[in-house]
């Protein structure tokens, strides 16, 4: 009788990886918020102290939410809307006070939420820290300075951060799409170095996960440690997280962080990360990342690509947003330009994961969910919540 391990022994390592990859594509197919349970992961340990927020649920009355679904105007009370849209957690924090905290659809305050592309904005903060430390000289540096085996010298770190690298990228869920190769791949370092340039860098916005893999390779090179370790040592240890987090990896053998989507934590700890950004990179008396970098990363760009060139986003609301006059994408953050001097900004992940930061009202609003739900554009709801808070005194540290 032929045993399974005999078959495995007869299959070379490359073929086995292909089989595992196809298994991931076929049996998991569309990404889910529970995917962190089957990916290998690196633990990100919390620091010795927890940052406490002040519970203040009685000082803010949630507004009736005006929103759209399929471009039709609707209204609803906040809690029923959250419950009916697959929301797992929604938290409103203003000046270190928790005004609203709601968990739904089987989730509690102790539940783990995966970030999907919220992780991209977290990577932007890591890049800022590497710049602060002099490990990266400038975002104008060609990536070949740090990755000599990547022979596309005209691409800069800035191009990676603004999704304008000119690298080829095919969306979709089929095993041969780049979306699948990045999300399910077992050796993402190798995958990143195979990326091909198809147009001049800096000319076209194209949301492209290879950019994040290349940033991960650069961070590994300049820091000498895996990205989850760098994140633990520079951010998680100091923001007062209440629990350990994790960062999903491509495979145990490769051990490379899923840079584009793999950060997993409790909802309240995502609020703490948002508070770090709201407070100009300072938390618990420690300047974790420079204020100048954070401002540059999230403020509206001086110019935007031609709206006809906004490619690579399958979700129509995202396409309309980046092409609109007030919507923009900067250094792995999305933004909402309100007027010439005012803006909100947010980290956005698939299925409606959000860290929405409202400097006008000194608020962080987190929404995580199992699905996007029957809502055209969540940022319009989150901005509405921010608007309802009013403008208080200057921020606290």
Complete domains list, the chain, with CATH: 5-26+51-388 (3.40.710.10)
Sign of CA dihedral 330, 333, 338, 343: negative
If you count them, how many residues does the chain have?
A: 397
pLDDT score at 175: 83
Per DSSP, the three-state class of 327 is strand
pLDDT score at 12: 57
pLDDT score at 16: 60
Residue 284 burial (C-beta neighbours within 10 Å; 0-12, 13-18, 19+):
middle
d(CA 113, CA 107): 9
Positions in the chain short of pLDDT 50: 1-8, 10, 307-308, 311-314, 393-397
d(CA 29, CA 17): 17
pLDDT score at 215: 98
**Under 8 Å between Cβ of 264 and 112:** yes
Contacts 24+ apart (CB under 8 A), 169-176: 169/195, 169/206, 169/207, 169/208, 169/209, 169/210, 169/312, 171/312, 171/314, 173/25, 173/29, 173/30, 174/25, 175/21, 175/22, 175/25, 175/26
pTM of the shown model = 0.92
pLDDT score at 325: 85
- Residue 198 has what DSSP assignment? -
pLDDT score at 18: 67
Q: In what order do the strands lie in the sheet with 112-114?
A: 41-44, 245-248, 263-266, 112-114
């Amino acid at each position: 009788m032929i045993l399974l391990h005999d078959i495995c022994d007869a299959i070379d390592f490359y073929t086995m990886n292909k089989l595992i990859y196809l298994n991931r594509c076929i049996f998991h197919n569309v990404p889910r918020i529970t995917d962190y349970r089957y990916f290998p992961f690196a633990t990100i340990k919390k620091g010795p102290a927890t940052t406490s927020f002040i519970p203040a649920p009685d000082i803010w009355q949630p507004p009736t939410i005006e929103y759209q679904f399929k471009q039709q105007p609707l209204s609803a009370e906040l809690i029923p809307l959250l419950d009916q849209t697959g929301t797992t957690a929604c938290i409103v924090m203003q000046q270190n006070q928790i005004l609203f905290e709601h968990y739904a659809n089987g989730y509690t305050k102790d539940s783990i939420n995966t970030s999907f592309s919220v992780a991209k904005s977290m990577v932007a903060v890591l890049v800022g820290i590497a710049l602060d430390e002099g490990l990266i000289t400038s975002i104008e540096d060609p990536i070949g300075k740090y990755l000599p085996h990547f022979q596309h010298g005209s691409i800069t770190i800035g191009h990676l951060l603004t999704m304008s690298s000119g690298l080829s990228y095919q969306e979709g869920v089929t095993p041969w799409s780049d979306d699948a190769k990045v999300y399910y791949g077992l050796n993402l370092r190798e995958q990143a170095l195979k990326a091909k340039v198809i147009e001049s860098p800096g000319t076209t916005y194209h949301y492209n996960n290879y950019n994040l893999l290349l940033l991960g390779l650069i961070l590994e090179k300049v820091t000498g440690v895996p990205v989850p370790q760098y994140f633990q040592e520079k951010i998680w240890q100091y923001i007062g997280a209440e629990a350990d987090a994790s960062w999903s990896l491509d495979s145990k053998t490769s051990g490379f962080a899923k840079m584009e989507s793999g950060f997993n934590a409790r909802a309240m700890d995502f609020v703490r990360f948002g508070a770090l950004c709201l407070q100009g990179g300072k938390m618990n008396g420690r300047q974790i990342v420079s204020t100048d970098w954070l401002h540059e990363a999230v403020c509206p760009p001086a110019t935007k690509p031609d709206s006809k060139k906004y490619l690579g986003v399958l979700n129509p609301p995202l396409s309309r947003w980046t092409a609109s006059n007030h919507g923009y994408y900067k250094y792995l953050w999305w933004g909402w330009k309100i007027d010439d001097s005012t803006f909100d900004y947010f980290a956005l992940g698939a299925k409606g994961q959000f860290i929405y930061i409202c400097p006008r009202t000194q608020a962080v609003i987190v929404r995580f969910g199992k699905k996007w739900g029957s809502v055209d554009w969540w940022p319009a709801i989150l901005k509405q919540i921010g608007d309802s808070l009013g403008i208080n005194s200057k921020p606290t540290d």
